[in-house]
Amino acid sequence: MAGPALRKVDSHASIHEAALQEARELTNVYANLLKSGETDNALETAFILLEHWETRTLAHADAEEKGLYKEISETSPELHDHIVALTRDHDLLRSLAREINSILEHDGATYSALQRFQALILVDEMHNEEEERILPEH
């Protein structure tokens, strides 16, 4: 069963925005460190940023899939296609996180990892907008 914060549009949106804002800030720090050539600090920041995505956004995604999405699927079958699409967004976020981890492990702090961090932000922004649009219907 989904927790009450996941079922209330305002609190759910606040959860999304807080995590996303932290990710934006850390991504900017990573980009600035790369630009200034501080590769050791950039790599450390990148791993912190990746951990942020895993423990905040992806953990939240897991909770949504196990609770909220399951409830919506059971009570509103007409939203099935939307739930499938939202779950696919989560899969894309997970895939990007795995790619970033591989890049960091093999190549260190790179602009390629930065591009994927920026992609995480974009996918998450679009996902959150769609989810918050659908949530009031439930």
**Helical pair 111-134 and 80-107, crossing angle rounded to 10 deg:** 160
Residue 5: the pLDDT is: 47
For the stretch 76-114, pLDDT in tens is 999 999 999 999 999 999 999 999 999 999 999 999 999
For the stretch 20-54, pLDDT in tens is 999 999 999 999 999 999 999 999 999 999 999 99
Q: How confident is the model at residue 7 (pLDDT cuts 50, 70, 90)?
A: low
Report the predicted TM-score, pTM, of the whole model to 2 decimal places. 0.89
The mean pLDDT value of the chain amounts to: 91
The 3-class SS string of 34-86 reads HHCCCHHHHHHHHHHHHHHHHHHHHHHHHHHHHHHHHHHHHHCHHHHHHHHHH
Higher pLDDT, 13 or 90: 90
Q: What percent of the chain has pLDDT over 70?
A: 90
Give CA–CA dist 133/137, Å, rounded: 8
